[in-house]
């Protein structure tokens, strides 16, 4: 598995990406540090919630509105 410098990799970046996508090891060196090109694994998007999924029922709203403004009576 050859290691290319950044300068040399610039000219053949497309080929290097193709190699990485084919699971061939691709290493690029900058000074003494080395990076590896690998295919990314994209996360699944968050599922869309159906319309109204986060709304409260009228009964729940009425219950919350009926609670006292001072929570002290609720403490034990």
Half-sphere exposure of 74 (CA within 13 A, CB side): 5
Rounded to whole angstroms, how far apart are CA atoms 70 and 19? 66
Dump pLDDT digits (tens) for 30-76: 999 999 999 998 888 888 888 888 888 888 889 888 888 776 766 65
Rounded to whole angstroms, how far apart are CA atoms 41 and 43? 6
Residues across the chain:
76
pTM of the complete model beyond 0.85: no
Confidence of residue 2 (pLDDT cuts 50, 70, 90): confident
Note whether 68 and 75 are within 8 A (CB).
no
- At residue 10, does pLDDT exceed 80? yes
């Amino acid at each position: 598995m050859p290691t290319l410098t950044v300068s040399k990799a610039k000219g053949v970046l497309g080929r290097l990406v193709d190699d990485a996508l084919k699971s061939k090891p691709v290493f690029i060196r900058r000074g003494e540090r080395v990076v590896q090109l690998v295919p990314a694994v994209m996360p699944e998007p968050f599922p869309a919630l159906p319309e109204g999924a986060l709304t409260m029922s009228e009964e729940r709203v009425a219950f919350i509105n009926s609670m006292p403004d001072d929570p002290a009576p609720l403490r034990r």
